[in-house]
Amino acid sequence: MFSKKKLFCAIAGSVFAASASAEGIYVSGNIGYSNMDDTDTSGSFSSEFVTGPGTTIPAGVALPAGTNVGWDTKVDSGSTFSLALGYEINQFRLEAEYASSQNDVESHDSVSAAGIDLTGEDAGVLVSGAPGNLGISVGDLVAAGEGEFDADYLFANVYYDFDLGTALTPYVGAGIGNASVDVSYSPSGVTIIDDDDSVFAYQLMGGVNYDLSEQLSLFGGLRWRQTDDIQVDADLFDAGFEVQMDSFVAEIGTRWMF
């Protein structure tokens, strides 16, 4: 991770070093549609967990630390935007970018612990020391969704513009950087996870520019973003989880060349 951060800083620094001359500097901004892949919320208990009263699972069953626990999480499409400062050198562009995205959680399902499907169990099984059943199944409790993934990105990007001799210029690009991600799961108003992590991120881009003038361009494109596994802790019980954040983005934006 340390070497990746050094590489990110080196590329970002080159953008600002090149910006010592006004020629070739640009700013850009875009908005887009973020389609985040559904994710596998998988982890394990950090300490011994003692079950509450379930339907078929009795209260008082001790699951040792390290016992697997997890579920599948469905994620809605969301929105994203970004702002960037860049420097154009011939057909290459170096760019420092800030981006943000938000995706709501649609639902969770297939909850299991120690390889046992908990979907049909009373949700009291998840609450150590609960005095009795809660009257709602684990499956119904988590199906409500009610959560979100909020991410702030810092990227160092490199683009290549294909000069066709027309106002239309296709481009490809790639970027590396950091993602600060807030993960919130609160199905049926019950906070299961509310935590954040900072992880390495990268992206691939492609699209087309359209020059309106020597200074102003419109662009539209697609990008794929991915992060390293995000590590978060649960609030409802003592457990740690890993989730993945892979997103497909469709965007439109403008670029102003100084």
pLDDT in tens, 143-180: 987 899 999 999 999 999 999 989 999 999 999 999 99
- Cα separation of the two ends of the chain: 35
Q: How far apart are CA 147 and CA 189, in angstroms?
A: 9
Q: Are 180 and 98 in contact (CB under 8 A)?
A: no
Position 188 pLDDT exceeds 50? yes
Domain extent, residue 14, equals 2-257
By C-alpha distance, which of 242, 207, 249, 188 is closest to 224? 249
Note if the pTM is more than 0.75.
Answer: yes
Query: Number of structural domains, the chain?
Result: 1
SS (H, E, C) 187-203: HHHCCCEEEEEEEEEEE
15-69 pLDDT, tens per residue?
A: 555 444 446 999 999 999 999 999 999 999 999 999 999 999 999 999 999 999 9
HSE of 47 in the Cβ direction (CA atoms, 13 Å)? 5
CA 133 to each of CA 27, 44, 125, 126, 193: distance values in angstroms, whole numbers, following the listed order: 58, 24, 8, 10, 22
CATH number for 169: 2.40.160.20
